[in-house]
Amino acid sequence: MTKIRSSNLAKLTHLVKFLIETEKTLKLSLEKKAYTFIVDKRLKKPEIKAIFEKCFCVKIKKIKSLNIKKNALKKIYIFLKKNSVSFDTSFFHNFSNLICK
């Protein structure tokens, strides 16, 4: 796993744009503990994993990503391990204001 300093981690959290909440993604989160986010295209999977594991105290099983052609964004699916706590999705409505410690 990539080591990321706390100061860099706080800067990287601003590259996570928002959580996608649709019927399909809500069903996916209930059935497979998978959550869908839009992030900046520059984020790599190890950085995404570090952000979510350190800031939200979850255990990530795997990450799938898709580049969005028209802009500099990436759609990611984060699959949590079975013994991991689920995300509180209400928290992500103000995710851009997050400050990591």
DSSP state string for 85-97: PPP-GGGGGGGGG
Cα–Cα dist 50/71, whole Å:
24
Which residues, other chains included, contact 67 with Cβ-Cβ below 8 Å and sequence gap of 6+? 41, 74
What torsion do the CA atoms of 38, 41, 44, 49 make, to the nearest 10 degrees? -10
Confidence of residue 14 (pLDDT cuts 50, 70, 90): confident
How is domain 6-81 classified at the architecture level of CATH?
2-Layer Sandwich (3.30)
What's this model's pTM, rounded to 2 decimal places?
Answer: 0.78
Cα–Cα dist 74/85, whole Å:
24
Q: What is the pLDDT of residues 37-85, one digit of tens each?
A: 999 998 899 989 988 888 888 899 999 999 988 888 999 999 999 887 7
